[in-house]
């Protein structure tokens, strides 16, 4: 395996090359060529890596096959981003990604503590954002570890080339599984966000679409990728309920009850269309996540609301928190509605919601105040 300098010209990968010297031929001996079944994200990662290391290197095919192995497109997206971070770090140190050792993996983990994140500046993404928090760094390392675990499972490389996962001994950031830094809008703030999107968002031709998207995220308790992937063919009825089947995190399908007001809004939006994505551009293409997040934050700014609370998970976080705060809320039903496999995930929202309002510190101070008596005058 030869390292290609980072600034070298990127050749166009040749998918027609199927001889034994190509990456395509490398995996044929495993079972069958997976290329024809690769999802778009796997193909894009292949193109990216093949442009750096060449189509004859085994890395592009292994990485694409690894992405194909994941259950959901959301996971593929996150894993591809995480792997690119590692690939770029290894390349800067003139190390092929399939030659990464424990020491380099450990150094990569340390580097993540200070590595800037990508943010939008004047229409371009630049590395000027704050470093990743502990939970995000934990996810990056887990994604990278998943790649090497997959490579070992394929047995595509001889043991003398790779005999262990270099991330096995890396110290992951210590995180509290019951804690989340995500903050959502209050119920009143979300209503103001939705009203502003409907009545004031510019351009006006996309205002109603953004309004319906916000209602869909809120009423169906969805992540934005699931909402944007929702299709008209999955709208239907079940025992007197309007329903929408959507693919959620983990790659499985769930049936969501659609309130009448949202159902009417969706029907108005699709204007009689019977197939395709619910949320599309004026030219019929599916909406992309970054553009809609930018639109939501633009509306938040116009409504004088905290933009940081309108993020990939901010609206779903707010939805769950509001549901748990309502009288008679049942955490088990909220858990199912939120598509949480583990009840501890739902409990985390309850813990965050009541951590300050119900703090024993207030009772302790009140009780002790009577025993302490009047506060003495403190010399000034």
Could you read off the pLDDT of 167-176 as tens digits, one per residue?
999 999 987 6
Q: In terms of Cα–Cα distance, which of 182, 174, 178 is closest to 348?
A: 178
150 and 191 co-located in one domain: no
Question: Who has greater pLDDT, 257 or 308?
Answer: 257
Q: What is the CATH number of the domain that holds 241?
A: 1.10.443.10
Structural domain containing residue 279? 187-354
323 and 195 co-located in one domain: yes
6 in a structural domain: no
Query: What's residue 199's pLDDT?
Result: 95
207 and 329 co-located in one domain: yes
With vertex at residue 120, the alpha carbon angle to CA 117 and CA 125, rounded to the nearest 5 degrees, is 70
219 and 326 co-located in one domain: yes
What are the helix (H) ranges across the chain?
A: 23-28, 40-53, 58-68, 73-92, 102-112, 134-154, 187-200, 207-219, 224-228, 260-270, 289-302, 314-325, 331-337, 343-354, 360-372
Is the pLDDT at 37 greater than 90, yes or no?
Answer: no
Residue 128, SS3? strand
218 and 345 co-located in one domain: yes
**Pairwise CA distance, residues 97 & 1, whole Å:** 10
The total domain count for the chain is: 2
79 and 132 co-located in one domain: yes
Is the pLDDT at 298 greater than 90, yes or no?
Answer: yes
250 and 302 co-located in one domain: yes
Residue 242 CA, distance from chain mean position: 28
Q: How many other CB atoms sit within 10 Å of the CB of residue 186?
A: 14
Is the pLDDT at 203 greater than 50, yes or no?
Answer: yes
Question: Who has greater pLDDT, 177 or 262?
Answer: 262
- Residue pLDDT, tens place only, 86-133: 999 999 999 999 999 999 999 999 999 999 998 878 888 888 889 999
Average pLDDT over residues 237-264: 92
Query: What's residue 8's pLDDT?
Result: 42
State the pLDDT confidence band at 48, using cuts at 50, 70 and 90: very high
101 in a structural domain: yes
- Residue pLDDT, tens place only, 56-71: 999 999 999 999 999 8
325 and 204 co-located in one domain: yes
**Pairwise CA distance, residues 269 & 264, whole Å:** 9
Query: What's residue 16's pLDDT?
Result: 41
222 and 310 co-located in one domain: yes
161 in a structural domain: no
- Residue pLDDT, tens place only, 261-282: 999 999 999 999 999 999 999 9
Residue 288 vs residues 95, 139, 238, 280, 285: alpha-carbon distances, Å: 34, 23, 30, 9, 9
- Residue pLDDT, tens place only, 317-364: 889 989 988 888 898 999 999 998 888 788 777 665 555 566 677 778
240 in a structural domain: yes
Q: In terms of Cα–Cα distance, which of 127, 128, 168 is closest to 148?
A: 168
169 in a structural domain: no
Query: What's residue 369's pLDDT?
Result: 80
Average pLDDT over residues 18-45: 65
Average pLDDT over residues 42-52: 96
pTM, 2 dp:
0.65
Question: Who has greater pLDDT, 31 or 79?
Answer: 79
309 in a structural domain: yes
376 in a structural domain: no
pLDDT over 70, % of the chain: 84
Query: What's residue 62's pLDDT?
Result: 95
138 and 222 co-located in one domain: no
197 and 298 co-located in one domain: yes
Query: What's residue 201's pLDDT?
Result: 93
Q: Facing residues of 120 across strands?
A: 125
133 in a structural domain: yes
State the pLDDT confidence band at 7, using cuts at 50, 70 and 90: very low
Query: What's residue 10's pLDDT?
Result: 38
**Pairwise CA distance, residues 89 & 84, whole Å:** 8
Is the pLDDT at 380 greater than 60, yes or no?
Answer: no
130 and 191 co-located in one domain: no
Rg of the chain in Å (alpha carbons): 25
Average pLDDT over residues 129-139: 91
Query: What's residue 21's pLDDT?
Result: 47
């Amino acid at each position: 395996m030869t390292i290609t300098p980072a600034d070298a010209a990127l050749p166009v990968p040749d998918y027609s090359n199927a001889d034994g010297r190509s990456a395509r031929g490398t995996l044929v001996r495993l079972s069958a060529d997976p290329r024809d079944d690769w999802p778009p994200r796997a193909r894009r990662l292949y193109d990216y890596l093949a442009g750096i290391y060449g189509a004859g290197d085994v890395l592009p095919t292994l990485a694409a096959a690894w992405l194909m192995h994941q259950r959901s497109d959301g996971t593929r997206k996150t894993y591809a981003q995480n792997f690119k971070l590692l690939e770029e770090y290894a390349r800067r140190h003139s190390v092929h990604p399939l030659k990464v050792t424990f020491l380099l993996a450990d150094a990569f983990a340390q580097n993540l503590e200070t590595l800037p994140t990508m943010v939008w500046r004047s229409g371009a993404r630049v590395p000027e954002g704050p470093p990743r928090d502990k939970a995000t760094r934990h996810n990056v390392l887990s994604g990278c570890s998943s790649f090497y675990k997959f490579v070992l499972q394929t047995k595509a490389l001889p043991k003398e080339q790779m005999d262990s996962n270099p991330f096995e001994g890396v110290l992951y950031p210590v995180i509290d599984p019951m804690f989340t830094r995500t903050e959502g809008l209050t119920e009143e703030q979300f209503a103001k966000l939705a009203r502003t999107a409907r009545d004031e968002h510019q351009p006006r031709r996309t205002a109603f679409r953004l309004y319906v998207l916000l209602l869909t995220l809120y009423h169906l308790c969805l992540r934005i990728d699931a909402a944007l992937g929702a299709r008209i063919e999955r709208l239907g009825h079940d025992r007197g309920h309007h329903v929408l089947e959507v693919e959620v995190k983990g790659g499985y399908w769930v049936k969501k009850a659609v309130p009448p007001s949202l159902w009417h809004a969706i029907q108005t939006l699709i204007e009689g269309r019977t197939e395709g994505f619910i949320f599309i551009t004026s030219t019929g293409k599916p909406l992309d996540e970054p553009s809609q997040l930018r639109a939501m934050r633009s509306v938040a700014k116009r409504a004088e609301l905290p933009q940081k609370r309108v993020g990939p998970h901010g609206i779903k976080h707010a939805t769950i928190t509001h549901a748990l705060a309502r009288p008679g809320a049942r955490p088990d039903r909220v858990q199912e509605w939120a598509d949480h496999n583990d009840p501890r995930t739902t409990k985390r929202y309850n813990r965050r919601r009541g951590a300050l309002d119900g703090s024993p510190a207030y009772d302790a101070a009140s009780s002790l105040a009577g025993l302490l008596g009047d506060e003495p005058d403190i010399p000034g």
